[in-house]
Amino acid sequence: MELPQLPVITGADFGIDGTEDWIYKDISWMTKEYMIKFVDIIGKENLHWISGASRNSEDGTVFMRGSVLVSPQGIENAKEYRRVAE
């Protein structure tokens, strides 16, 4: 059974000027270090944060998650990072 295709959520759905072609992504929980690397790969200027949260584990490790809009250039940056990593 094939699952239905979900609609792509863009900046236009949030009414944020200049982000009509940006794509919404939900970023799962990850360590603070991985979140910093994620932002470095995509590029800070290519992200618009909708929401975010952080929590500490018992051993003091910081975990973070968030909801973001990613610019077309940010998507390309991620694809390029994957190409180079392979």
51 phi, psi to nearest 5 deg: -155, 165
Model confidence, pTM: 0.82
Is the pLDDT reported for residue 14 higher than 90? Answer: no
Sketch the domain layout of the chain as residue ranges. 11-85
What's the pLDDT band for 18 if we cut at 50, 70, 90?
confident
Please report the pLDDT score of residue 5 as a whole number: 80
Cβ-Cβ contacts under 8 Å for 55 (sequence gap 6 or more): 62, 63
pLDDT (tens digit, 9 = 90+) per residue, 27-75? 999 999 999 999 999 999 999 999 999 999 999 999 999 999 999 999 9
Degrees to nearest 5, angle at CA 22 with 70 and 79: 50
CB 21 within 8 A of CB 29: no
